[in-house]
Structure 1
Amino acid sequence: MAARPGLLRRVVEHLSADRDQLDADDTTRSLSALRGTTTPLNDLRARERVRVGGVLRAVTYPPAALKPVLVGQLFDGTGSVDLVWLGRRSIAGISPGARLMVEGTVVAGRARPAIYNPSYEILGRGR
């Protein structure tokens, strides 16, 4: 049986792509159903109220000696935003790999934009 045209090219591209690009492609594909109702993370502007969706790449749990602040990095394939919950050390369901729909006001952050105390809906686990 002959291979479909372009299959070899796609396999070679997949094998030569870096991990970040593969993650971005997978995340974009898995969140494509949300695109009509959410703002892509690379389009965020400070002081805008937005609705965004994505996958939590990382969650930072603070030591007990520090003030309680939970920070998660949300990624949608186009960019990232920090989600900051003040006064919380943990939230059930908020862990790396969780898919979220989030609403809040964007604040200009140091490394990337941030949304403080966002309202959120857990959509499930990634992959």
Structure 2
Amino acid sequence: MPATGYLKKLTRRLTEDLGNADAEQIAEESRATGAQRASDCCRGDEVTMHGELRAVETCSRTAKAGVKAEFFDGSDTVLLKWLGRNRIPGIEPGRKLTVRGRLAEGDTGKVIYNPYYELYGAEDE
């Protein structure tokens, strides 16, 4: 009987949507670190989350200077905004990190302004 369970799991992994598989893997890593899930957090909460940067954008216009990054923890997306910065070394798509800060609600959803962060490299995973 154990082979049947293994075959079901293998078949599911081979036929599963890659986005879902990626989200599941990131969510597992997040649970392993003891971090909070973004989907469970509300505006005003002090949060610590672990996940991956999906996209990074720099805005160099004087009024809106800063770095914006789309952070995904396997359950929800949170926008990270560092104000007054043109570039932050290491903040790039695909990097895994742990962020800490107060969750706010922006025009497009959840946002953390000027979060504390800890980057992880390939050797840390």
**TM band (smaller chain):** 0.7 to 0.9
- After superposition, the CA RMSD in angstroms is 2.1
SS in 1 for 2:20: helix
Distance 1:105 1:32 in 2: 20
Which residue is equivalent to 2:3? 4
Unmatched tracts of structure 2, length 5 or more: none
Which residue is equivalent to 1:118? 115
Unmatched tracts of structure 1, length 5 or more: none
Deviations 1:54-109 (A, max 9, x none): 111111123x4463221111111111111000111210111111111111111112
Distance 2:108 2:54 in 1: 15
TM superposition shift of 1:7: 2.7
Deviations 1:102-127 (A, max 9, x none): 11111112332000011111122497
What is the aligned length?
A: 122
The percentage of aligned residue pairs carrying the same residue is 33
SS in 1 for 2:24: helix
Which residue is equivalent to 2:80? 83
Which residue is equivalent to 1:55? 52
Which residue is equivalent to 1:103? 100
Distance 2:71 2:36 in 1: 13
Which residue is equivalent to 1:20? 19
Q: Is the 8 A contact 1:44 1:113 kept in 2?
A: no
- TM-score (norm: length of structure 1): 0.83
User: Structure 1 stretches (4+) deviating beyond 3 angstroms?
Assistant: 64-67
